[in-house]
Amino acid sequence: MKALAYEKAHPLDAFAIELVDIAEPRLRDGDVLVEVAAIGINPGEAAIRQTRSAAPGGRVVLGWEFAGVVVAIGDVATGFAIGDRVMGTGDITRDGAWAERVAVDHRVVAKIPDELSFTDAASLPIGVLTAWEALFRDQDSLPAGVERVLVIGAAGGVGSMATQLLKATTSAFVIGTASRPESARWVTEMGADLVVHHHRDLPGQLRGTVDLVFSTSGTGSRLESITEVLRPFGHVAFIDAPGPVDLGALAGRSLSLHTETVFSKITAGGDVSSQGRILARTAQDVTAGRLRPIVTTTLDGLTAETMRTAHTLAESGLTIGKTVISLDPHRNR
Ligand SMILES: NC(=O)c1ccc[n+]([C@@H]2O[C@H](COP(=O)([O-])OP(=O)(O)OC[C@H]3O[C@@H](n4cnc5c(N)ncnc54)[C@H](OP(=O)(O)O)[C@@H]3O)[C@@H](O)[C@H]2O)c1
C-alpha cells in the first residue's frame, strides 16, 4: 500500500517525507484495519518528525488522527463491523495513519454517523480527547469548585475543542485567549464567554481570578502570570512541552498541576476503552449540535507536497481550528 514515510529525523526546510510502497499493516487481535479517508494534522507530529528516526533499514509513518472505513477486524476486537465509518487516534509507538490503511486498537476508535463527513470527523479525535482528559481527568467532570476557566491558545486544535466541551457539558464561565482578530473571532464562535489576548497582561485583563487554567501553548514562559490569575487551591492543566520550569510559585498558592498526554492510556496503561467511549459520545454530540467539527483548512490527497504544506501550517503556530487532509476516494461520503 502507499504511505507517507521518512527515515531520518529532519527539519521542515529539509522535508523528506515521501510517498512510498510499504507492506500492509499487520493486524493485532484487538485491532481494526481502517481504510483511511481523512487525516487530522497535529503540531506534535511535526515535532516527532524533527526528533524521531527509524531503526536502520526501517521507516517512520506518522499520523494518529484519522477517519475512514473498517475493512478488517482482529479476532478479539468487538463493536465494529466491516464497512463501519469510524474516527480515531492510535498509538505513537506504532505506524500511524498517513497511509492508505492503518491497523489500530479498536478501543481508541468510534463509529461516526452518516451525516458526519470523513473530513469533519478527522478534525475531532485528538482535540476532544486531549481536552477531555486535561479538564476532566478520569472523572468525566471538572474538579470540584471550578466555575471559571481560562483556556490559553483557545483557537488551536485542542483549545477549540476544550472551549466547546466546557460550554457544552459544564456551566463554567469560559475565558479564551487569542492574539489576532481572526483567532479571537473563532474563539467566540467556539463559545467562549470572554476573549483576552495571551501576549498582553493576563491578570490585568481578567479582573478577578479563575479556578482552572488550561494552557495549550507557551506554558513555560507564562507560568508566572498563570499562577497570578489562579485562586489558591486552583488548578493548572497543560499539554505542551514547557521545558524546565520553576514550580515554586505554584506551591505558594497550593495549586494543583495536571499533566496530560493523549497517548498515555494506550502506551502506559489505564482505561483505554474510555477513549473510544469519549469519541462515541463526541459523535453523538456533533449530531445533536452540541459540538461542531473544527476543520478550517482541507488539503487534498495523500502526497508528499500536501503533507509538506500541512507541516508548514502546523509549525507556524497560527493554525485556527484544524487542518485536515482528505484522501480523494471517500471525499464526499
Ligand atoms: N499532551 C498532549 O497529549 C497533546 C495533544 C495535542 C496537542 N498537544 C500539544 O499542545 C499544543 C497545542 O496543540 P494544538 O493542536 O492546539 O496547536 P495549534 O492548533 O497549532 O495551536 C495554534 C494556536 O495556538 C495559539 N498560540 C500560538 N502560540 C501561542 C502562545 N505562545 N501562547 C498562546 N497561544 C499561542 C495561536 O493563537 P493566536 O494565533 O491567537 O496567537 C493558534 O491559534 C502543541 O504544542 C501540541 O504539540 C499535546
For residue 328, what pLDDT is reported?
A: 65
Centroid of ligand 1 to alpha carbon of 19 (angstroms):
28
**For 27-36, what is each residue's pLDDT tens digit?**
999 999 999 9
What domains can be seen in the chain, in order of their start residue? 2-124+270-330 (3.90.180.10), 127-259 (3.40.50.720)
Ligand 1 proximity of 160 Cβ (cutoff 6 Å): no
For residues 103-126, give the mean pLDDT.
97
pTM: 0.98
Ligand 1 proximity of 43 Cβ (cutoff 6 Å): yes
At residue 207 the predicted structure's pLDDT band, cuts being 50, 70 and 90, is confident
Residue 331 pLDDT > 60? no
**For 221-258, what is each residue's pLDDT tens digit?**
999 999 999 999 999 999 999 999 999 889 999 999 99
Ligand 1 proximity of 239 Cβ (cutoff 6 Å): yes
Which CB contacts under 8 angstroms, 24+ apart, belong to 91-95?
91/64, 91/263, 91/266, 91/267, 92/48, 92/64, 92/263, 92/267, 93/267, 95/3, 95/25, 95/61
Ligand 1 proximity of 240 Cβ (cutoff 6 Å): yes
Helix, strand, or coil here: 218?
A: coil
For residue 333, what pLDDT is reported?
A: 47
For residue 157, what pLDDT is reported?
A: 98
Centroid of ligand 1 to alpha carbon of 40 (angstroms):
14
For residues 288-294, give the mean pLDDT.
98
Mutate to test the pocket of ligand 1, among 64, 199, 217 (most ligand atoms within 8 A of CB): 217
**For 163-184, what is each residue's pLDDT tens digit?**
999 999 999 999 999 999 999 9
